[in-house]
Amino acid sequence: MAAIDKSLYERVGGKATLARVHQTLYNKIYSHPWMKLYFEQKPQHVLENQQTDFMTMLMGGPNQYAGKTPKFAHQHIVITNELFELRQQLLAESLTEENIPTTLKQEWLAADETFRRALVKNSIQDCEVAYANQEILNFKPPRAYTQSD
Ligand code: HEM
């Protein structure tokens, strides 16, 4: 098969590459002072595996993803453009650290960018909960805690 016909999944190196990049990404997410607040109740390895299965499907690999749609999985989280862009920055850094070639890195980031519209919210009023006592996740960026000090 000519290289041009191969899926992005194959071209980046398949499941091993996705797992490696997502381990690096979630190491950054789980140690970032603002980002980590959204993940306090969630084991890191579960998120890494869900992200890998989801991106495998999205990039044209085997479909093993059994989770929620991104819109539904994030409907209780106030994801602002600033937070979305912070995650993209951490993803871009992870792709560079894991030696993903520039053109593939751009394609990977473009695939990720397609979720902005489904995930980004203007305010807490745009959130929904799946069950009565589901917590709405809404944390100020760290500088908001220090600006008035
Ligand atoms: C700033 C942006 C984001 C934040 C703060 C965030 C946060 C979270 C959190 C807290 C969960 C756990 C939800 C739960 O189990 O209740 C989650 C799940 C998930 N996220 Fe994100 N996320 C972000 C962006 C993205 C993007 C861009 C994608 C896809 C490219 C994505 C894909 C997923 C997937 C596949 C799951 C698992 C869904 C499931 O439970 O089945 N996330 N995210």
**In this structure, what CATH number is given to the domain that contains residue 118?**
1.10.490.10
Domain membership of residue 87 as a residue range: 9-146
Query: Under a CB-based contact definition with an 8 Å cutoff, are residues 76 and 130 in contact?
Result: yes
pLDDT score of 139: 96
Those residues with Cβ within 8 angstroms of residue 136's Cβ, 6 or more apart along the chain or in another chain: 76, 77, 78, 124, 127, 129
Whether residue 12 has its Cβ less than 6 Å from ligand 1: no
Q: Does any domain span residue 3? A: no
Residue spans of the chain under pLDDT 70: 1-4, 144-149
What pLDDT is recorded for position 7? 97
Instruction: State the distance from the centre of ligand 1 to the C-alpha of 71, rounded, in angstroms.
Output: 9
* pLDDT, position 25: 98
Looking at residue 53, its pLDDT comes to 98
The answer as to whether 1 is a domain residue is: no
- Tell whether ligand 1 has an atom less than 6 A from the beta carbon of residue 14: no
pLDDT of residue 16: 98
Q: Is residue 4 part of a domain?
A: no
